Amino acid sequence: MAWQLTGTYAESCSCDAVCPCTWSALTAQATLDRCRALLAYHVAAGEIDGTDVSGLNFALFLDTPPVMAEGNWRVGVFLDAAASDVQADELGAVLAGQRGGPPAMLAPLIGELLGIERVPIEFSENGHDHQVRVGEGASFAVADFVAIEGGDPVRLENVAHPSNTTLTVAPATTTNLSTFGIAWGRSGQSGFTAPFSWSG
């Protein structure tokens, strides 16, 4: 039951930029009373146990205590409405940690599954700009931060993050976030982008 997913990820979270949860390997306290994040993924190429899932999107909503390493996360899963039942089942198994890989590493931290929703998910990129829309209630745009004109975006390296150990700093330019009954988000909050490559 081998699988592999490669593509692009973008995230917006409720912390001030730059999110302390990320640079501290989940041990520093979030800047607000809860850490809420929406992690969105576009699968450029992917296969799970013989099922092609290329071109699909998915997203994870996290609602956690201020110190994420303490666990008791509340997590909601969004699966692409464009996925067939078989594709959705296979992606769901991966995201539940049943197939190993990075999602399985997060499983011990999860205390409550808020639900799984199949909704239209749009993921688009234009240079340093990244836009995500999840269903009708959630959307955000983040922009890779370039500190030196003409230079590369600012990046965090050697971080403990399920998407990549190197993340591009990308604060939110717009947010409209209502996920699993929780309204949150503001312009300028923390965000990241990166390529991702998962396998199990």
Q: Residues 6 or more apart from 84 whose CB is under 8 A from it?
A: none
pLDDT of residue 21: 84
Segment-wise mean pLDDT, segments of 10 residues, the chain, 200 residues = 93 91 84 92 97 98 93 96 97 92 91 95 96 96 94 94 96 93 90 96
Q: Which of 8, 7, 44, 20 lies closest to 129 in space, CA to CA?
A: 8
DSSP run (H or E) holding 123: strand 121-126
pLDDT of residue 154: 94
Q: Which domains does the chain have, with CATH numbers?
A: 3-199 (2.40.400)
Gap between the Cα atoms of 193 and 170, Å rounded: 6
The pLDDT assigned to 1 comes to: 63
| pLDDT, position 53 | 98
